[in-house]
Structure 1
């Protein structure tokens, strides 16, 4: 910031112009709080764009691994981390006082659900208090974490303004909802358009500058509330359409109609349709969570969300449907029930080719099988041992079986929950007396037989 400003130039305008110039010239330092699925690719994109970057995380083990050039995420190439470190523009730290050096601070912390499916903003509040403790005039703060409309304005802004500094005058505040799709090689951080909404016009104008320097396109909207609503709309749209396909699967099954073949035929229409697919239940950090943020806020305004609530009920019921199909097939083909049967759960990650277990339906199914008296094994080359899971403590430490026909001996049925590429499905189809397929992977590979059942 210049030592002195012309007396006719308002304080906030001078701060914004000085900061904007640093973003334009790539002379700014940008801090990212939270180096997980959103924050880690973000710091790499910022370094590649030429910014000086501070990566802040509360996990010392994660920081140590990153500093050594190791990637904590399978979809992030360790070489990209080492290349960023070699530029000398990336600094990794667990010290909040480093934030005072930043011109912009991007918050990428988790926003899970509480025990009663209410928003849990404790990580956002903690990060904001950390920023407030180090806040100085002339900084831009951007919340990227997903939340309900009004979070940036009603939660983040008051904490920051409790310092005595004022938004739009001393500091600037915006919301730019993350749009990461882990494992998607086609759409990476820098190529994905970013929606940005500011608390006020100066904050919006300023927030567009750094994002415009490292993403393909910025999409300004009229407020931070609206930007928050955009992200919830995107993921609620997906949740509702997946629920529709799940319900259509249940409708078509007794008619002898294959929902997967229906979808493949329907997707040939070049307008008015886009494909969504049924499955064993929702997983991940967005789709099972975000609609509940919207319904919670809607209830606070006295508005019912019947359509969204129904979709959540349908999706939540899918693991039980899969279990029923497995039990029916065991009884029909082997004359036995789940109790005492050895069941192999195949693929644990919530998404193909990811080791991420957050809200994974595979873990739900494993617990349900144990409750029904089955002996449960799992096969997942990305998750050889199940790490501690807060929602599934009884599964921690379970070690999976290895590949090969001999490992399948004595197993009554396999249950494909996630269709990772690194699994030999032909070997499973040949070595198991019953194979339940929730992802249509066997049909895609041309594996057929009376012992292969879609669920």
Structure 2
């Protein structure tokens, strides 16, 4: 049965797109590109299937759609740059079935120039068709924010940059069925660079506030009170908050190329943020020492090991490095997370606390790494012998803050 849309890649980008499409009444195929894991619940997937979503492993079905959106993941490679291997595989699979007049859109996070210089040749070579003449080609960077209850597909504008004006309009016509607002970029490179800017904006501002956290601790200043006051400014300031590190799927890019001219600020921000897990461990060891205990042999409980609150996603979570460094100091590490039934670090299973309050009471130190809604920080702080709050979530005075 033909479908209006094929979503190629069913990970954290593709599944939300497919979910929004079927909710809008668009018949949708889902084609998996690898061992992907999305963040939809079993109930959400059942609703999608009931509305006509069809997962498939048959690449021949990709030749029967009007629009194909590539949402293959691009994890960071060994050199720190996005790995385009799954995008390449998706393009080759699609190219062999590509029909004239199909609209192909790239949503995967990629460096500027990828749509024209990497994706286009693969599609043209495999199909014998010409982009911009025989089929439409565009880039529309994903703006998925898993777990965000305020902004979803309908009220998040979509940026679109097509190879030609006709390509842009074809992609805009598709996304116009999903979102209230479509923003047209001058071309694919501009659209790709939008995502680079948005991702790096987050990285740089988190780095700034993480450095402020270290500085304010040394000065004896309450950073969270500083942020509370600063965010009352109605212009020129957006509040970011510190944490134990930066997780998630977005890969910061400094875009260093043949000229050697990269984004120095982004490189520095990555260095700052990558040091935060070690800083958390240093603070933990110092707290234990101040209370007459050594990190070696200490019972340390980690609360919340996902990269984002209320989301069962461990991608890039700083909890992994924190647990590893604590174990290297000789600490006995356990964890609690309502969304993570089992967890391992370097193939070593980490014990999971079944009874939260008993575990908190029995730990020499409890470290809040992620603020899930189910955590009652007031109650937990009463039970804890020592509580290090890396999220500023506990009531003032109830815990040691980052």
d(CA) in 1 for partners of 2:48, 2:388: 44
Q: 1:209 to 1:404 in 2, by over 3 A?
A: closer
d(CA) in 1 for partners of 2:361, 2:23: 50
Q: 1:418 to 1:177 in 2, by over 3 A?
A: same
Q: CA deviation at 1:346?
A: 0.8
**1:271 aligned onto 2:232:** no
Q: CA deviation at 1:343?
A: 0.6
**1:109 aligned onto 2:61:** no
Map residues 117-266 of structure 1 onto 2, 5 A cutoff.
Answer: 117-162=80-125, 163-266=127-230
d(CA) in 1 for partners of 2:262, 2:377: 44
The answer to whether the 8 A contact 2:34-2:86 is kept is no
Q: 1:58 to 1:121 in 2, by over 3 A?
A: closer
The answer to whether the 8 A contact 2:11-2:36 is kept is no
Q: Which residue matches 1:50?
A: 25
d(CA) in 2 for partners of 1:58, 1:201: 29
The answer to whether the 8 A contact 1:59-1:94 is kept is no
Q: 1:225 to 1:361 in 2, by over 3 A?
A: same
| Residue among 247, 254, 258 paired with 1:300 | 258
Q: CA deviation at 1:28?
A: 6.4
d(CA) in 1 for partners of 2:181, 2:36: 35
Q: CA deviation at 1:173?
A: 0.6
d(CA) in 2 for partners of 1:177, 1:160: 19
TM-score by length of 1: 0.84
How big is the alpha-carbon RMSD for the aligned residues of Structure 1 and Structure 2? 1.9
Q: Which residue matches 2:401?
A: 454
Q: Which residue matches 1:356?
A: 313
Q: CA deviation at 1:61?
A: 10
Q: Which residue matches 1:23?
A: none
Q: Which residue matches 2:15?
A: 40
**1:442 aligned onto 2:399:** no
**1:311 aligned onto 2:258:** no
Deviation string for 1:385-413 (max 9, x for gaps)? Answer: 116xxxx4334x43410234333454210
Computing the radius of gyration from Cα coordinates, the structure with the larger value is 1
Deviation string for 1:236-286 (max 9, x for gaps)? Answer: 011101111111122222221111110010001111111011111000111
Which stretches in structure 2 are left out of the alignment for 5+ residues?
none
d(CA) in 1 for partners of 2:278, 2:356: 29
Q: Which residue matches 1:373?
A: 330
Q: 1:234 to 1:59 in 2, by over 3 A?
A: closer
Q: Which residue matches 1:345?
A: 302
Q: CA deviation at 1:37?
A: 1.8
Q: CA deviation at 1:134?
A: 1.0
Q: 1:237 to 1:402 in 2, by over 3 A?
A: same
Q: Which residue matches 1:7?
A: none
Q: CA deviation at 1:130?
A: 0.5
TM-score by length of 2: 0.94
d(CA) in 1 for partners of 2:320, 2:354: 19
Q: What number of residue pairs does the alignment pair up?
A: 400
User: 413-422 or 78-87, which moves further after superposition?
Assistant: 78-87
| Residue among 370, 384, 387 paired with 1:418 | 370
Q: Secondary structure at the match of 1:327?
A: helix
Q: 1:191 to 1:61 in 2, by over 3 A?
A: closer
Which stretches in structure 1 are left out of the alignment for 5+ residues?
1-26, 63-71
Deviation string for 1:39-64 (max 9, x for gaps)? Answer: 112112112222221111256998xx
Q: Which residue matches 1:430?
A: 382
d(CA) in 2 for partners of 1:164, 1:57: 24
Q: Which has the higher helix share?
A: 1
The answer to whether the 8 A contact 2:3-2:64 is kept is no
